[in-house]
Amino acid sequence: MTTQCFHCNEIVPKGINLHVEINHIQQPMCCLGCQAIAQTIVENGLSQYYSVRTEPAHKGHSLIPEQLQKNKLLDEAVLQSEFVFNSSSNTGVDAQGNELQNDLKEAILTVDGISCAACAWLIERQLDKLTGLVSINVNATTQRATVKWQDTSVKLSDILREIERIGYQALPFKANDIEINNTKQSKAFIKRLGISGILMMQIMMIAVGLYFGAFADMTEDNKVYLRWISFMLAIPIIFYGAFPFYIGAINAVKAKRLSMDVPVSVAIILAFSASAWATVTQQGEVYFESVSMFTFLLLIGKFLEFRARSRAAQVSANLLKLMPMTACKLIPTDINSTSADAAPQELLVAAKSLLQGDIVIIKPGELVPADGIITLGNSQLNEAMLSGEQTPVNKTVNDKIFAGTINGDGNITVQVTKNSGQSFLSQLIRLSEESQTHKPKIAQLSDKIAQYFVAIILLTSIGTALYWHQHLPEEAFWITLSVLVATCPCALSLATPTGLTCATTRLNKAGIMIKGGHVMETIPSINCFAFDKTGTLTTGEFTIDRIELIGSNNDNTSKAQVLAIAAALEAHSEHPIAKPFTEFRDHSLKAEQVKVHSGQGVTGSINEIDYTIGKCTWLAKLGAINCQQGKQIDLQGANCILMANKQIIAAFYLIDKVRDDAFNTLSELNKQHKTRLLSGDSQHACDAISQILPLNVALGGLSATEKMQYIQNMQAQGDNVAMTGDGVNDSPVFGAAHVSIAMGCGADITKSGADVILLNNKLSSINTLIKVSHRTRRIIFQNYLWAFGYNAIVLPLAVAGYITPYMAVIGMSASSILVITNSLRLLKP
């Protein structure tokens, strides 16, 4: 009996006994190459590849380097479905200025080895040279990179290989992997700290003996002995404890750049080398205790920075951990069976394997495994992980639910609408990373300054060494060392990324999703907030208050007929006004040649009769009706009018509730901002709501184009405008506004084009956004003030010899920790 290789399906030769455990089953392999590739797939948590692949893999070759195998595997579409997204933009430009059309992909990568903002800057500059790469933004705080590329010009494996070439390791971002990696790094830090700390204490005790021995007439042999012991104890500290600094410096120099690790590494190596030479030649003084304490304090500073970065990145990483591991999928017992009694079979599957169209059942207390629509049952769902609001939300048939939310007290059957990699939660993580990697102009300027500042430090150190060598040779070395360390601009590079990361995390907790990278720097300059009416200032939950019929003798039959006709037309619209007609849908009526007029109405043909349903003002502009006509009915006050063959047959009056927090939100905004209502609803409806809410200006009957023109006119007058809306018709207006804000309950296309999404559907979140953005700007300014101020004060003091190496290390570490701690204040409400 022949056995086939589980990886490539070729026959396993006789005498070959190679296996790989895949999904807890030992699977046969035909060669070492297939075994290596299969093992790589398993070790990277990509075993799902084997369950969803459509054809056998290509035969592996054992001569291919293991890391290259891993990278090449990540180019396969089956594996990329978990972590690669189609870019929202259809075009882009690479580093060479080539315009790239379509086929743009986007992914978040975890990058190991980033020690400071200069590392992020280095990676961005080096990869910008790659043909086909549209953009790369590296967040030094979270140690993640958002990359966008054209798949036909460059592969993901090429991007990963280029990152590895300059000394860093990159893999697709996964929450569990991040936690494991952070734990691994934390243990490595603690190990380096432990070894360096213990050995440093021994060296310090020996140094005390040497200092006091000098006054007690210690013999020269004993002094030499103690120096050699200090030398041997310092070796692990210098070559193991300080190793990360050397790696960072080497990577920077190889790339012909300067990073913060360069002056630090130079200082450590020079101090140790000078002391070692003094020990060997038995001439001069040794300062092993100084360099040991110097390294130890630097490691403490780095460890505290690492812990702060981990804390700042924890929320977004934990969001992905909310995704359940399994799901209960419903599978028909017999696909060919027509029996109504053939109950579907419940099968427990991996949540990641769910595809669009699958049916799952979610029991009370379980996590929702994928985005979908309820097809049976009703329940209350806790959506706190998206909106920050703990109050359960009632959900029933046809309502959307999102992966990671918690089902309450009812059984619900759900049809999956999106694969796991494309879920709303996954999109939030990706968009959050994008916004955090955006660098404001001041941050871009500070990055450039930091590069030049490192060069200035090195030149100043050389000048200091030459000066003091002539005037005080015995202290020249240590003064130069102090200059190198004390003025390292780590705090300068940390000022913006830590602030933006903490601010975005704080807003995420409050149910506010920042998508646009420019939001945090633009919001403080906004002086006018414009709002749509339906679904924004109001809940958008319309109910039909009354129906007025024209030319009908049988009220009951006629009302049922016009409701069914209106429902058939409105089924093609996503406007909130269309929703209350859903319950009156008669599926025997089929609307044909339907055309949706954004924000105005719908036209179509039913049973060879041309129907139009829409706003009175729109119909009047078309010349179809006169809003003042109709002696028995107030057409102008109607929300929508139904016409058959250009004859009015019905008018619908709907009731829409004003949001509970709308009054307080607008009252607070009016203190320092202008407020505008720009609505497509009738002016009559807008005037009515302006009597309830404190709006400066209320304009109705506006099309999407007219709203956009109004905002552009305001901008021409010097106003900075933010637009808040929820419907499809708001998308063009969003493009014109400085900042666009979408309600979480809004249409998908609106949310995809918005800079901010209010996941909690609370207008009061706008005030929270303003408050946090102002606070963020203030804290970032404080960070820069401290970073520049510290370096401006410490540089002349170090050059003058007033700062010892101890003080230099403490000052440099303290400045970085102070900046991070100041930014962490943004995490507090």
Q: Cα 298 to chain center, whole Å? A: 30
Examine residue 561 and state whether it is found in any structural domain, yes or no.
yes
By mean pLDDT, which of 309-323, 462-476, 486-500, 512-526 is the weakest?
309-323
Q: Which amino acid is present at 21?
A: E
Q: What was the pLDDT predicted at 72?
A: 64
What separation, in Å, do the N-terminal and C-terminal C-alpha atoms of the chain show? 68
Neighbouring C-beta atoms of residue 663, cutoff 10 Å:
15
Is residue 351 assigned to a domain? yes
Q: Are residues 723 and 679 in the same domain?
A: yes
229, exposed or middle or buried, with CB in 10 Å at 0-12, 13-18, 19+? middle
Checking if the pLDDT of 236 tops 90, the result is: yes
Amino acid identity, position 640: C
Q: What is the mean pLDDT of residues 111-125?
A: 71
Predicted confidence at residue 63, as pLDDT, reads 37
Tell me: the pLDDT tens digits for 595-626? 888 767 899 998 888 899 988 778 877 766 65
What's the pLDDT tens digit per position in 642-686?
888 878 888 888 877 788 889 999 999 999 999 999 887 778 778
By C-alpha distance, which of 547, 546, 577, 542 is closest to 649?
A: 547
Residue 193 lies in a domain: no
Residue-level pLDDT at 442 = 57
The pLDDT of 46-70, averaged and rounded, is 56
CA distance 126 to 115: 17
Q: Are residues 67 and 91 in the same domain?
A: no
Assess whether 129 and 85 both reside in one domain. Answer: yes
- What are 270's two structure tokens? 């020079």
Q: From 627, 655, 683, give the residue that closes a domain.
A: 655
Could you tell me if residue 735 is inside a domain?
yes
For the segment 309-337, the average pLDDT, to the nearest whole number, is 60
| Domain count within the chain | 5
* Per-residue model confidence (pLDDT) at position 470: 87
Q: 593 with 736, same domain?
A: no
* Predicted confidence (pLDDT) at residue 101 exceeds the cutoff of 90: no
Rounded Cα distance, 663 and 100, in Å: 47
**452 CB contacts (<8 Å, ≥6 apart)?**
none
Same domain, 645 and 666: no
Full DSSP string of 703-755: -HHHHHHHHHHHHHTT--EEEEE-SGGGHHHHHHSSEEEEETTS-HHHHHH-S
Tell me, yes or no, whether 577 and 708 share the same domain. Answer: no
Which amino acid type is present at position 106?
E
Most confident among 309-318, 514-523, 589-598 (mean pLDDT): 589-598
Residues 378 and 527 in one domain: no
Tell me the mean pLDDT in the region 394-400. Answer: 84
For 809-820, b/e burial (b = at least 16 CB within 10 A) is bbbbbebbbbbb
Distances (CA, A) of 107 to 77, 216, 426, 754, 810: 13, 67, 11, 20, 39
Residues 529 and 663 occupy one common structural domain: yes
Q: Which residues contact 622 (CB under 8 A, 6 or more apart)?
A: none
| pLDDT score for 774 | 92
Report the distance separating Cα 67 and Cα 361, nearest Å. 40
Average pLDDT, the chain: 77
pLDDT band at 118 (very low <50, low <70, confident <90, very high): low
Residue 190 lies in a domain: no
Q: Confidence class of residue 89 from pLDDT cuts 50, 70 and 90?
A: low
pLDDT band at 62 (very low <50, low <70, confident <90, very high): very low
Q: Name the residue range of residue 569's domain.
A: 543-655
What is the predicted pLDDT for the residue at 199? Answer: 92
Could you tell me the pLDDT band of residue 769, with boundaries at 50, 70 and 90?
very high
Which two tokens mark 317? 């990483």
Q: Which of 621, 655, 689 is the last residue of a domain?
A: 655
Q: What is the pLDDT of residue 390?
A: 52
pTM metric for this prediction: 0.55
For residue 381, give the H/E element and its range: strand 379-382
Name the band, by pLDDT with cuts 50, 70 and 90, for residue 639.
Answer: confident
Residue 803 burial class via C-beta count within 10 angstroms: exposed 0-12, middle 13-18, buried 19 and up: buried
Return the H-helix or E-strand segment holding 360. strand 359-362
Mean per-residue pLDDT for 757-772? 88
Question: Whose CA is closest to 493, among 742, 774, 138, 8?
Answer: 138
CATH number of the structural domain spanning residue 628? 3.40.1110.10
State the pLDDT at residue 339. Answer: 47
Tens of pLDDT, residue by residue over 162-178, are 888 777 778 776 655 55
| 525 in the same domain as 665 | yes
Confidence of residue 314 (pLDDT cuts 50, 70, 90): low
Q: Has residue 98 been placed in a domain?
A: yes
pLDDT at 19: 87
Given 173, 201, 221, which residue is the final one in a domain? 173
Candidates 124, 171, 96; CA nearest to 444 is 124
Which amino acid, one-letter code, is at 343? A
Q: Please indicate, yes or no, whether residues 358 and 382 belong to a single structural domain of this protein.
A: yes
Residue 289 lies in a domain: no
Q: Is 639 in the same domain as 547?
A: yes
Both 99 and 165 in one domain: the answer is: yes
Which residue did the predictor score with more confidence, 590 or 325?
Answer: 590
CATH assignment of the domain containing 337? 2.70.150.10
Query: What is the C-alpha to C-alpha distance for residues 364 and 508, in angstroms, rounded to an integer?
Result: 26
Q: Is the per-residue pLDDT at 56 higher than 80?
A: no
Question: Who has greater pLDDT, 44 or 418?
Answer: 418
Q: Does the pLDDT at position 473 exceed 90?
A: no
Q: How many CB atoms lie within 10 A of CB 129?
A: 11
Name the phi and psi angles at 209, rounded to 5.
-60, -40
Q: Does any domain span residue 3?
A: no
Q: Which percentage of the chain shows pLDDT scores above 70?
A: 73
